Amino acid sequence: MNLLQQKIYNRFIRYIAVDTTSDPESTSVPTTPSQIPFAHSLAAEMPKVGFTEVEVDEYGFVTGLLPANTDKKVPVIGLFAHLDTVSDFNGKDIHPILHENYDGGTLTINAEKKMFLSPQTAPNLKLCVGDAIVTADGNSILAADDKIGIAIIMTLAEYFQEHPEIKHGPLKAAFTIDEETGTGINYFDVKRFNADFAYTVDGALLGDIDCGNFNADSVTIHIIGKSCHPGSAKGFMANPVRIAADIISSWPTDKLPETTDGEDGFILFKDITGGLDQAEIQGIVREHDLTKFEQFKKDLTALVETKRKQYPAAKIEISFKEQYRNMRDVLRAQPKAMELLEGALKENNIAYRLTQARGGTDGARLSLCGLPTPNIFAGYENPHGPYEWLSMNWAEKAFHILETIAKNAVK
């Protein structure tokens, strides 16, 4: 690794040593108390790299200002990364493994568990020959999603502090809670943050720029049944477990995550809990096109109504909860963020793709609250599981994209 990569890496391994797993079932803000100490540790570090006006608000959001070093009237640019990690797999006791000078072959994550990465199982490794690759040890996530984003932003601020000859406008950083649950950014005060546009540093593949995303809601189907002895159940019992299975199996198979890609939407039924008294189905609804998205919800509601008639002894209720909406239209109407971003990508000779993310980002909610916020790559792949990996070369390139945006904004 070169010196810049080493600085980013050193911060990254410090950050992932702190467990900040969020909890989608929690109603607290933030959803886990561990996010707060990490927020305060970042706030303590930020003045050392040049940030002023640093604060941790009542919810745990960390913000700070890197003041402009030019008298020109230039836009205020926001830089976002989230401090929580996903609950899908263990996020504690992370032990990173650094694979320097990757040779294009197989990387061992955990020999005892027979866990390996190769260009056959992770095709984008082909793009990383010669890079420093970071993995975990097979017992946890790596948490590059999104602590590498935080490390990049902090190192960028330090770099500008050490190089005052590089002119830039005001840069505002925000490290956010509960991105992985899709709920945290609801509490962020966009107006008080007072940026003209922003970027989330929370993408994966080198050159991928998310300038659109799914419309997204969660869905809950609650079933209250009638229980009795199975020997005398005829004409009386309403079995919530069977009804839940019937609802799920009745949803069209061509509208599931495993049968769709690109901009095709889906409903994922991800959890069933309960027994003979009651059962609950938890799921998510995803679709890029808002009209189709609303139709998905109508179709599922109609399916539930059909099951109510089929199982009159049961009580079946369905509810939706908004998570985020597609930011594409906002970025088209206010194009400055994308103009600077595409210019920086070209200047750094990075081939790029403008993608519609099959997932969420804080930028979606921020954009719809009036702060246009596309999402740039941060350099990780395979997030949310033990096969997550990170290219330090890709992370360095993300750093240079942000550096170029900041410099070009004052021209």
Q: Classify residue 43 as exposed, middle or buried by CB count within 10 Å of its CB (0-12, 13-18, 19+).
A: middle
Q: Identity (one letter) of the amino acid at 157? A: A
Cα 316 → chain centroid: 32
DSSP state of 238: B
Q: Give Cα separations from 343 to 63, 102, 340 (angstroms).
A: 27, 30, 5
DSSP 3-state assignment of 89? coil
Active site positions, annotated: 84, 179
CA distance 324 to 305: 26
CA distance 284 to 326: 15
Instruction: Identify any residues that bridge with 216 across adjacent strands, giving them in sequence order.
Output: 286, 324
Instruction: Identify any residues that bridge with 66 across adjacent strands, giving them in sequence order.
Output: 171
- 204 contacts 259 by C-beta, under 8 angstroms: no
